[in-house]
Amino acid sequence: MPPDAPPSPHAARRLEGRVAVVTGGARGIGLSIAERFAREGAHVVVADIDEAEAHHAAAALGPQALGQRVDIAAAASVAALARAVDERHGRCDILVNNAAILDAAGIDAMSFEHYRAVLDINQDGAIRVTLALLPLIRKGGEARRILNIVSIQGVRGTRDSLAYATAKGALVNFTRALACDLGAEGIVVNALAPGFIDTRMAQLPDGSGHEHETDWFRDIYIRHGRIPLRRPGTPADIAGPAFFLCSDDARYVTGQILLVDGGVSSTF
């Protein structure tokens, strides 16, 4: 498996001076996106529910970065994030709605309260953050972007993912509808749908390892080619497409859901 891409001293810095807010930015996919944006010259706000990790990640990115605690399920916390971005920068050019929790409950293991708790974070959280930051996005420059991180489970059915898949599916159409609402203002809205990515969220419930390390995964997805590229993805595999959709190259791309899954959705 190829390692995550190291920082490059030759980055083109194509996001120079732009303000980017990344929720769930202290680890995994969010951190890799934050690192890529910082290498490209962006002022990155690393927003995460783990305050210590958010500050640690921001410190590693350099003096242009800011660590900020946010609980996307709490309106007051999201409002505090918006105030912090406003006080520091006065605008937001790029918003990446990445924060989420994993849930692997099927219908027989689910109460309505459990279902709503998952949606409150994975669906409503992204909408809360978008609504809170939209006034600052409207103050941004010409290359304003909103990028939602969804999942192939939001566009394909799988077992034991009822609340998670429903929330991600809702964000798929939230992306499309928001692109229609904001297109006349020149604000571009897209989503990335990762497949199997090697992050903490891929850890097995019993803590014994990650799903891609299991015999069933190696047999079905690697040996038999259910993933045509024959490997799980890394956070850096998501950061590149995220940069593209938030760059000037994607100025005429909006309302799109880009599946970044090693080809697994082609084998369903």
- Tokens 């990335």 locate to 192
Contacting residues for 212 by C-beta, under 8 A, at least 6 apart: 196, 198, 202, 218, 221, 231, 232
Cα→Cα distances 171→46, 73, 121, 201, Å: 21, 15, 12, 19
**How many whole angstroms separate alpha carbon 236 and alpha carbon 34?**
11
Question: What is the set of active-site residues?
Answer: 164
User: What's 197's DSSP letter?
Assistant: B
Q: Are 129 and 78 in contact (CB under 8 A)?
A: yes
Strand partners, 192: 149, 258
In whole angstroms, give the CA distance from residue 23 to residue 43. Answer: 14
**Contact between residue 66 and residue 45 where contact means Cβ atoms under 8 Å apart:** yes
